[in-house]
Amino acid sequence: MQETKIGFIGAGNMAASIIGGLISQGQPPANVFASDLDAAKLAALATSTGLQAASNTEIAQQADVIVLAVKPQVMAAVCQELAASLGERRPLLISIAAGINLSALTGWFGSDASLVRCMPNTPALVGSGASGLFANPQVDSGQREIANALMGAVGLALWVDTEAQIDSVTALSGSGPAYFFLMLEAMQDSAVKLGLSPEVAKALSYQTALGAAQLALASSETTEQLRRNVTSPNGTTERAINAFEDGDLRGLVDSALKAAHARSIELAEEN
């Protein structure tokens, strides 16, 4: 992996977080390249990480792995230009753009291109991301290991069995941080109405969310059992859980994920 030359087309927040994770885990900055239309942002990233600022053409000519990290609406133009620069080279191509499916990528790069579609999420910015990955048949085992290591540098990286499941990953973990932020907003608002200061409500809600996630990760028990462990009969937690159930929280969550899933499919069709 350390000898692998990795190029990033686009140096936004997600790309910068992956770059930072790679370098912190030992990837030599001399083997990391990035391009971006914002020259000042690219220069700042190069200064902070030691990576090599480059053009799209230079990345196409040198990189063993190319991470496509531009906005979906400009992906077609960028990929078509990149494909022309690649010539006969066949690097591993990893797309982290939402709504860009393998059919579109194959149309731009050709049927013999090694392609990985990845859905990361924003906690990757702090090294706690959750990413789903799917590869086309041209990706060999060594390239899968590289893709896994690359996304594993910023959190959990899991392979899914079908490309369609990337839409499910989008609905669960891709959009998921916003669901938890909404829950935290609601908890804080309620706690303030109950007399806590906004500062105390924020600190306690954040730590409670962190602690619950860490406890779940450290435990071998199911999520259901962990919930039961906290819910004493006739206690305060049971009263709150009953209010959630009476309000059909499960139904709301199911509707929300189905809506996100449907929109993910629509975005792919639009592109």
Query: Is the Cα dihedral 11, 130, 159, 260 positive or negative?
Result: negative
Pairing of strands 114-119, 6-9: unpaired
Residue 1 lies in a domain: no
| Number of helices and strands in the chain (H, E) | 12, 8
Dihedral class, residue 127 (left if φ above 0, else alpha if ψ from -120 to 50, else beta): left
pLDDT above 70: residue 12: yes
Domain encompassing residue 35: 6-166
Q: What is the pLDDT of residues 124-182, one digit of tens each?
A: 988 899 999 999 999 999 999 999 999 998 999 999 999 999 999 999 999 999 999 99
Rounded mean pLDDT of 188-194?
98
Asked if 136 and 100 sit in the same domain, the reply is yes
Residue 140 lies in a domain: yes
Asked if 160 and 210 sit in the same domain, the reply is no
Length of the chain: 271
Residue 183 lies in a domain: yes
Rounded mean pLDDT of 20-26?
88
Asked if 142 and 183 sit in the same domain, the reply is no
Rounded mean pLDDT of 188-195?
98
Asked if 158 and 96 sit in the same domain, the reply is yes
Q: What percent of the chain has pLDDT over 90?
A: 79
84-88, 115-119, 199-203, 237-241: which range is least confident on average? Answer: 84-88
C-beta separation of 216 from 223 below 8 A: yes
What does each C-alpha distance from 130 to 11, 30, 31, 114, 215 come to in angstroms? 20, 27, 25, 22, 17
Q: What gap in Å lies between CA 192 and CA 188, rounded to an integer?
A: 6
Asked if 148 and 76 sit in the same domain, the reply is yes
pLDDT above 90: residue 21: no
Asked if 129 and 20 sit in the same domain, the reply is yes
Residue 58 sits in a domain whose CATH number is: 3.40.50.720
Number of domains in the chain: 2
C-beta separation of 34 from 42 below 8 A: yes
Query: Which of 130, 128, 131, 122 is CA-nearest to residue 210?
Result: 128
Extract the tokens encoding 136. 């086309």
Q: What gap in Å lies between CA 238 and CA 194, rounded to an integer?
A: 19
Asked if 214 and 130 sit in the same domain, the reply is no
- Ranges assigned E (strand) in the chain: 6-9, 32-35, 52-53, 65-68, 92-95, 114-119, 129-135, 155-159
Provide the pLDDT confidence category of residue 54 given band limits of 50, 70 and 90: very high
Asked if 213 and 139 sit in the same domain, the reply is no
3-state SS assignment for residue 27: coil
Q: Which of 135, 166, 197 is the last residue of a domain?
A: 166
3-state SS assignment for residue 76: helix
Locus of tokens 């906004």: 198
Residue 181 lies in a domain: yes
* pTM of the full structure: 0.89
Q: Which of 120, 137, 166 is the last residue of a domain?
A: 166
Average pLDDT, the chain: 93
Give the pLDDT score at 2: 67
